[in-house]
Structures are given as C-alpha cells and as structure tokens.
Structure 1
Amino acid sequence: MIKILKNLSVYKWMVAAIFGLVFIQAMSELYLPTLMADIIDKGVVVGDIPYIWKIGGLMLVVSALSAIASIAVSFYSSKTAMGLGRDIRRKVFTHVENFSQQDFDKLGTASLITRTTNDITQVQQVVIMILRMVLTAPIMFVGGLIMALSKDMKLSLVIVATMPLLVGLILFILHKGIPLFKAVQKRIDRLNLVLRENLTGVRVVRAFNREKDEQVRLRGANEDLRDVSIKVNKVMAFMMPVMMLVMNLTVVGIIWFGGIRIDNGAMQIGDLMAYIQYVMLIMSSLVMASMMFIMIPRAAVSANRINEVLEMVPTFLDEGTEKADRERATLQFDQVSFSYPGAEEQALSNISFKSKAGEVTAIIGGTGAGKTTLVNLIPRFYEVASGTIRVNGVEIKDSSQEEIRSKIGFVPQKALLFSGTIAENIRFGKEDATQSEIEHAAEIAQATSFIEQLKDGYESVISQGGSNLSGGQKQRLAIARALVRKPDIYVFDDSFSALDYKTDANLRAALKEETKDATVVIVAQRVSSVMDADRIIVLDHGKVAGIGTHEELLQTNEVYQEIVESQLTEEDIA
C-alpha cells in the first residue's frame, strides 16, 4: 500500500491543503462544545440574553467555518484520489503493454482487467477515506481526551473502562476481515473470467446448446462471490451496532456519574453537556479509525495485486537499438527451438531456413505441428529458447521490438478488428495512411467489392470484434491493414481460410505484384494455397520434415505426400 501511496507525491500541495483544512475542521468541532458549555452556564442558567446571542453568533461562525472546511476537504480529497487512480491505471496499462505473450498467459486477461478496474477503484476509495480521516481521527481523539480531562478528571474513568472494549473489537474485526477481503478479490477474478469466456464464446455456447451448463458455471462463480461478500458484510454489520452500543452505554455512565457530581456541586450542567460532546467526539474518532482499519486491509490486498503487475519484469526487454536495415526484406531462422512455459516437450526444434526479398515461404503441416508458434516468434511475441532469428540481417534481440515490428505486416490466424470505421481499422496498420493508400490496400485485399456495397463505404462502423461482418470480410480487412503498412516482411497466419477459391485466387494474384519487393511467409492448411511458393516448409510435431518446392516435396517427402493425397485428387496432383 505504501508503494501505491508514493504516487501521491505529484499531489503533495493538494494533500498539504487537505490536511490544513482537516485541522481547521477538527479544531472548530472541538471548540463548539466549550462554547455550548459557556452559553448554558453563563447565559441560560443566569438568564443573560445578550451573552446567549453573543456566544450563539460565535457558534454559528465556527459551525460555518467547519462546514466550509469539510466541503473543501471532500472536494479536494476526491479530486486527489481520482487523479491517483487515473495515474495508476495509466501506469499499469503502459507497463502491461511491455509484456510478452508469456506474461499475459501467466497473469490471465481476466485478472489483468480486474486489477486495472476493481482493484484500483478499491485503492481510490480508501485514499479518499485516508485523506479525510487519517488526520481527523487522531486530532479528535487526542483533542477530545484533553478537553474532557480538563472538564472533569474523575469522570474520565468511565472512558478508561470502555476504551479496551472498542480497541478489542477493532482488532477482532481486522483478524476476521483481512482473509475475507483477499477471498473477495479472487472471487471477482473468477467471475470476470467466466463472464468473459461466455460473452466472447457465445456462438460456440449456442452452437452446442450449452447455455444451461454455462448458466450453472456462472451461477457457481456468482454464488461464491456472494457468499464471501455476505461474510464480509456480516463482519461490518456486527461492528457498527456493537460500537454504538458501547458508545451509548458510555454516555449513560457519564450522565449517571455526572449527575451525582452535579448534585454534589463538583460539576456544572454546561460542563457535563460539553463533556458528553467530547466523549462522543472521542468515540467517533475511534469509529473512524475502525472504518479505516477495515478498509485499508482490503485496499492493501488490491494494492498488492496492482504492485504485482507493476513489479513484474517482462520476460524479455529490448536489449539493443540496431536498425534492422542490413539486408532489406530478409528473414532467417537459425537452429531455432522454443517451448511454452511448463510444457514437457518443445513446440519447435532446430528450425532453420532463410527467405529473401521477392520470395514466398509457405509453412504447412498437421494440426499442432507448430505453424502458428513459428510465425509468432517472428515479431517476438515469445522469446526463443535457443537459436537466432534475423530480420533484415539483424538478430531480433539486437534491435528494439518496435523496430522489428515496424518491418512486419502481421495478419493473425483470428482476424481481430476494433470498434470504429473500416477506414480506421485499415489505418491501424499505418497511422498516417492517406485515403488513396487505404483504398489501394482494400483493393489488393479484395475488400473493395463489399465495402462499396455498404451505405457509408469506408466510413461504415464496425462493431466490437467485427461482429457485424462475416469471417471472410474480417480476414480481407485484416489483410488490408497489413498491406497498407508496406512492410519488408508479410506474415499471413492461415489468413485465407475463410475465403472462397475464386477470392483466394484473385487475392494471391494481386499479392504477387504488391509484395514483389518483400518477403512473404504464409501459413496454410490448403495445399492449393502453397503450390506456387518458392519454398515450402513441412512441419511435423515441431520439427522440419522437409523443405523444398511443391514438385520436390511431392517426389521426396512422405509427410507432404500424405497431406497432398488427403486434399487433392490424382488428376490435380498430376
């Protein structure tokens, strides 16, 4: 929690102003009971009306000063806490952007969302409370105690008797509450995970009629969160009535013994009234402290989760600044091996090949052969276990990730679009792309035909994830997004699977001219899509089973022969 609060240094002058206003508010509230005692003893009892008006007016001024200070404290503490939340959220997001895919896999998307939203909100709420109460509570407690003792020393024995009860109650709540707060945040993580999977996978759920099963799963996660939240609220609900009971019993005791002292002439009525007010201030300060002690542990759990993200060192960072321009439009794998964290076997073993400008390298193989894993290593989404990858003649570790990725036009296996217009989605590949460049990229990607049929053309709005487009339309826009970049290396990860044969053929013909000065890497399932490639890499269980042209592999490679025979007729093969 301390590490998070260090971010308040930016708002140090505002925090100082808040503490100043809190001090004014606290001193005003401590002064009011003394004025009330004076107005009763020296005004009401003796019937001095001018004195009542005089002290009454002073009480109004002090009350107004306290109210203004209280409003200002609320305003500035809220502004400070919201600013802190904004800063932390921005810091978390910026840091997470440096994570590799391995880091995302380790933390989980649902947990990162919870930490960036719910956890930071918890911290914001407790910061507001700290700024408003961390100074108020001790001033009220110490000031109230001093003023109460100054009114009557012997009557203060009542406070001494009840104080251990309140302190014990606070410690009991802390002991019970902290484990429950940790459990609440974990249950929120779980609920977010289940909900996110249901929303993103709604088509699959419906396709297999698993709505009821998913409802049961969500109900389970929801009820787990409810049960823990109820336990937390039971602790909170137990605290307030017991504390109020102790406070009221304390007041009863003070009135009882105070009445005896007034009867004996040792105390005045006004002093007793002021004494009761000071005791209430002391008890209120303890209630404030207990609220802080309850909220701070929960916020501390959230703060630790935020710090866990901020302190997490990315699996790999940029180690060099060399420009990737030594051998333009070249890609080389040299004895590259890779395994996923925790996996028993390597996903890729000793992969070696080199592709030059104007060449098309196709990667083919069965399911789980490692095709997508291989192309994910090119933009350095994952770090290789051994071997080297060179882009434009420079090892990717010797150049910044931004530099390497600026040379690559990547079309992922799953075409992901963002909410916005078609033009904005294509321009995502090149921020300063002109309208003519966007239209040219769309034409090469065979997307012009359906874009022009839309009412608003390139300004047509795409829903989140491209849900208002077909799979083929999304793929073509994803391809256009890569084309507008005009990179040195194009990577198409099974990016033509949703296209019909005619569109596929037209696209490949257009790509051939467009990418003649670049290296093209294609992952494909169809043999017909790779037959014309300059180099076909056949993967089998993460290893290279063969490299060559279609004709060479057809004559010499059994794995490729099996793939061809499963897809093409004898006439096609001939």
Structure 2
Amino acid sequence: MIKELSKCIREYKAASIKAPIYVSLEVVMECIIPFIIAQLVNEIKAGCSFSVIATYGLILLVMAAVSLVFGVMAGTAAATGSCGFAKNLRKDMFYKIQTYSFKNIDRFSTSSLVTRLTTDVMNVQMAYMMIIRIAIRCPLMLIFSFTMAFVMGGKMAWIFVILVPVLGVGLALIIRLTMPLFRKVFKKYDRLNNSIQENVKGIRVVKSYVREEYEKEKFGAAADDICQDFTRAEKILAFNNPLMQFCMYAVMIFVLSFGSYVIISSRGLDLDVGQFSALLTYSFQILSSLMMISMVFVMITMASESAKRIVEVLSEESTIKNSEHPVYEVRDGSIDFDKVNFKYSKNAEKMALANIDLHIKSGETIGVIGGTGSSKSSLIQLISRLYDVTEGCVKVGGRDVKEYDLETLRNQVSVVLQKNILFSGTIKENLRWGNKEATDEELIEACKLAQADEFIRQFPAGYDTHIEQGGTNVSGGQKQRLCIARALLKKPKILILDDSTSAVDTKTDALIRQSFREFIPETTKIIIAQRTSSVQDADRIIVMDGGTINAVGTHEELLKHNEIYREVYTSQNKAGDDDEK
C-alpha cells in the first residue's frame, strides 16, 4: 500500500524531504533554548552584571528567530508536499478510472469513486502532512527533551519513563477500538453519497411524485447512522485528552513539589534553580510531544482505511487491454458473431447472451427488437468491446475485436447509448466530442442528418447555445438528436443506435433513417428499438428473446412467420389489429 501511494509523490519529493529537515533544525533550537535559560537563571542567582544578562538575552532572541524561520519553512514545505501529493493522487485515480472497462466500473459504484476522490484523498493528505512534519517533530522533540531532562534533572527525570508506557498502552487501546468504527463509516459514506446522487439526478421524478419527505427521511437515516458511528469513535477518542492531562498534571505536581523540596532542603541531588526551571520546560515539551503523537496516531488510524480504498482504485487493472501487436485499421463495417456466449460476472449462473451466431455485411441496416431484458444492449456492447465475450468470438472487418487497438476500434464503431449524456458547454463543444477537428460545415451537415439543425437554429445563440450540465435545458428528443449528430461526426464504419430515437416522434425518426440510407450507405447501421416502425425498413431484423436470437428476417418475413414480432407489431398498430380480425 505504501509503495503504491509513494508513487504519487513524484515532483514533490524535494518538499517532502525538506520539511523533516527544517523540523529537525527547529526542534534542536527549541531544545537548546531551555538549557540557555537555565544558565541565565544561575548567572542571575550568582549576581551577574547587566551585560551578561544582555548577552544571554541576545543569544536567546537569535535562537528564537532561527527556530521561527525553520518552523515557517517546515510548514510551507509540508503544505506544498501534502497538497501536491493529494493533487497527484486525484489525478492518478481519475486517469486510472478512464482506463477501466465497463466490468471494472461495475465493481465500483459512482458514489464510492466520488468519496474516494474527495473525502478519502483529504484524509490521506492530512495524514501525510502530519507524517512529514508532526510525526518527525514529536519523536525528535521527545528524544531530545528526554535526554536534556536527564542531563538537567538527573534521577527526577525517571518520572517520564514511568508515565510514557501508561500513555502508550492507553493510546494503543484507543486506536484498537476506533479502527473498526472508521472502517464502517467510510462504507456508509459511499451509501450516503449514492443517496445524494440519486436524489439530485432524479429530482424531477422526486418532485413529480411528491416524494421529498421520503427522500429527506432516507437521507436523514443515512446521515444519523454515520453520526452515531462517528460519535462512538469520538467518545473513545475523547479519553485521549483526559489521559494526557492526567499525566501532565502528575508530572507538574511531582516536579514542582519534589523539586522545590530538594532545592529548599538541599538534599544532595545537585539540583539548582536553573536546572529546575529547565526541567519544567522539558517536561512540558515531552508531554506536548506525546499529545501530538497521539493526534498523529488518530489521524493515521482514520487515513489508513482511506488509503486502502484509494489503493484499490489505483491497483485495479482493466479487464480489457490492447494486444501486444494491435491492428490500427478497420477494413470495413462487417460484423461476425461466431458462437458467442457472454455473462457479466464469472459467478453469474446464467449467460446474458447464449449461442449467438450472426453475420452482418458491411453497409447493411440491421434492426434489433425484443422485450425488456432480452439482452439487446448486451449484444451491441460486445461489438465496440465495452465487454469481452465469455466464449466464442466477435469480429469486425474480418478480425477479432481483441486484435484491434481499442481507440481505433471505438473510433470506427460509434455508439449512441440508451442513456444520452450531454456535457456542460456549447452545442459546438458537445458535437466536437465526436471529432475535435470538425469544421462548422461538418457540424451542420451531421446535425442535418440527425434532424437537429432546425431546432438548433431556433435558439438565439444557435450552435453557440450553452448546454447546462446533463443537458437539462434541452428536451429528451433534442438531446437524442444531438447525440446522434455527435456520433456521425466520427464518420464511423459502424453506427449503433441503442434505442436512441425513443424520445422523437415517428416522423422525425423516419427522416433520420432516410438520411442514413441516402448519405451514409456504406456505414453499417444497427438500430435497437422498441417500436417496429423504427426497424421495419431495415435490411434484416433480429428478434431477441431471453439472451438468444429468436429469429432473423425482413419485416414481411417476420410478420408472417415469427410470433414474437407479430405480437409486438400488432400491439403497436391498429392496422395490425384489423388484419387479425
């Protein structure tokens, strides 16, 4: 885990190394100052002149200034190193997520990835800053102060040796009890973020069904659950401060009472007033160091679980990778499914697709129809290699899709998915996702083919109209047409529409299909639809049922010989009802 995280330090190694060095110098200065003060007290007791006092004062002032400078430099270096480390962590995680296949993404929920990129990284950042500064400062301060306490106080310093194990045992118990609670909390954070994401994304549905109170109760329950776990953890952590205060006051009482008694009675412990004042200062330094160490342990306890969750993302390897010698050219838009079986998980009992044997010629228009859950979308996701087949082979342009460079394959297999996504920005910027080098003329041509040009020109800003996040300021049908235009700009050899004209009227749907026939005849077109009118003029129609191909044929052939297709057609067309009668 540490090895994986350390890779993210990179250009911030210098700052991460400077911080402990500056801290060490700061500690040295702070530990020498009480020793100088002790000498000054003894000089004053002996009746020294003002010049001696002034000399000591100047020395102490310079040492304090040097300590301050080193402290500022240490804080600056620690902040630079920790913030840079967090930046690289987020960057590496985000870049890693971009390489994931759909199967990898299925393993992590969106809300969990958001939590890992935000809350978990923040915890690790805080812990890292403490490690390179406070976790270096406190042990050094402890060691130096212990040494100086024995030098100045002699046998009296043994009080610290007695108290340190007491504190150590107390801290160990606190950490042992809080660690499982923090582990539970972060998992519940994922569920809380998932609730927020669902609510915000589906806010229109929530308001339409007047479910605000239900959502409030659901969110409140999740928030209360996290609050209870955090409260239990904080209650345990609260013992840290009283334990520390007890030890601190015990040392103060012992040093003040016994030290004063020794000085007054002159009991032969060779302890003068200067040494006594230094011993008091060192006792405070020792105890404050122990208190800071306890805080570091608490932060590391919280961050360790966050670190594990981050490393899970960084170490996850994509299930889909390029072959050693990938092919960088797709010959044509032909598609072959050779005895394909597919399931989403190795542990799945049933195949999502079974015994798929299908051959599509380049330039054909293929319709795909079937009931909900018939695996229509699963079928087309194998073509662009969003998932890999479990058994068998999928070929594009006569080659197994596994032989292609992924970027090359996906640029030639353009998919308009069922859930259309537009990003915040202008219409032009969204369209250029299909081809970042596309000219304005190419944008307009693609939009005309997708029947989007007309409504775009009705906007005051035309193609420079700003699209809100998620495309909330355009209708469902407009969003679908923009997504189709975006896909066309890739000029693919295969165009797949996954139920992506469901929100447009039948006339517009027909015009889109007419444009495809006239202007991109060489492109293989696969149209998944619920309406038979969207596929009835296709060269062939595939009827899916329960993850298998039930039938393949033209509209007329299926209407005569396939019961599933005829039933769908009849239910959607009054003319079909009249024919049956």
Q: TM-score, normalised by structure 1?
A: 0.97
Deviation at 1:7, TM superposition (A): 3.5
Distance 1:392 1:568 in 2: 37
- Residue in structure 1 matched with residue 442 of structure 2 by the alignment: 437
Distance 1:331 1:352 in 2: 11
C-alpha spacing 1:461/1:362, structure 2 compared with 1 (3 Å): same
8 Å Cα contact 2:330/2:409 also seen in 1: no
- Residue in structure 2 matched with residue 329 of structure 1 by the alignment: 333
1:527 aligns with 2:532: yes
Distance 1:561 1:219 in 2: 50
Structure 2 SS opposite 1:516 = coil
1:23 partner amino acid: S
- Residue in structure 1 matched with residue 458 of structure 2 by the alignment: 453
1:251 partner amino acid: M
- Residue in structure 2 matched with residue 358 of structure 1 by the alignment: 363
Deviation at 1:16, TM superposition (A): 2.6
8 Å Cα contact 2:8/2:92 also seen in 1: no
- Residue in structure 2 matched with residue 245 of structure 1 by the alignment: 246
1:380 aligns with 2:385: yes
Out of 285-294 and 538-547, give the one that drifted further: 285-294
1:339 partner amino acid: K
Deviation at 1:66, TM superposition (A): 0.8
Distance 2:140 2:564 in 1: 81
User: Taking every aligned residue pair, what percent have the same amino acid on both sides?
Assistant: 37
1:294-313 CA deviation, whole Å, 9 max, x = no partner?
11121111111111122222
- Residue in structure 1 matched with residue 512 of structure 2 by the alignment: 507
1:97-146 CA deviation, whole Å, 9 max, x = no partner?
22221221122111111111111111100010011122211211111111
Out of 467-476 and 279-288, give the one that drifted further: 279-288
Out of 294-303 and 264-273, give the one that drifted further: 264-273
- Residue in structure 2 matched with residue 98 of structure 1 by the alignment: 99
- Residue in structure 2 matched with residue 189 of structure 1 by the alignment: 190
Structure 2 SS opposite 1:409 = strand
- Residue in structure 1 matched with residue 420 of structure 2 by the alignment: 415
2:390 partner amino acid: A
Distance 2:115 2:407 in 1: 28
Alignment of 1:221-370 (within 5 A): 221-265=222-266, 266-323=270-327, 325=329, 327-341=331-345, 342-370=347-375
Distance 2:134 2:561 in 1: 79
Distance 2:279 2:119 in 1: 43
1:156-185 CA deviation, whole Å, 9 max, x = no partner?
132233222211221121112211221221
1:176 partner amino acid: L
C-alpha spacing 1:6/1:286, structure 2 compared with 1 (3 Å): farther
2:74 partner amino acid: V
Distance 1:572 1:429 in 2: 43
2:424 partner amino acid: S
Structure 2 SS opposite 1:517 = coil
Q: Unaligned regions of 5+ residues in structure 1, if any?
A: none
1:472 aligns with 2:477: yes
Out of 165-174 and 216-225, give the one that drifted further: 165-174
Alignment of 1:110-189 (within 5 A): 110-189=111-190
Deviation at 1:323, TM superposition (A): 2.5
1:159 partner amino acid: F
1:386-413 CA deviation, whole Å, 9 max, x = no partner?
1111112211111122121011111011
RMSD: 1.7
8 Å Cα contact 2:330/2:408 also seen in 1: no
Structure 2 SS opposite 1:354 = strand
8 Å Cα contact 2:334/2:362 also seen in 1: yes
8 Å Cα contact 1:357/1:516 also seen in 2: no
- Residue in structure 1 matched with residue 503 of structure 2 by the alignment: 498
8 Å Cα contact 1:335/1:350 also seen in 2: yes
C-alpha spacing 1:140/1:392, structure 2 compared with 1 (3 Å): same
8 Å Cα contact 1:538/1:547 also seen in 2: yes
Out of 263-272 and 477-486, give the one that drifted further: 263-272
1:490 partner amino acid: L
1:550 aligns with 2:555: yes
8 Å Cα contact 1:324/1:393 also seen in 2: no
1:321-379 CA deviation, whole Å, 9 max, x = no partner?
43264641212212222122243322211122222232101101112111111112221
Structure 2 SS opposite 1:135 = helix
8 Å Cα contact 2:570/2:576 also seen in 1: no
- Residue in structure 2 matched with residue 31 of structure 1 by the alignment: 32
Query: How many residue pairs get matched?
Result: 574
8 Å Cα contact 1:413/1:495 also seen in 2: yes
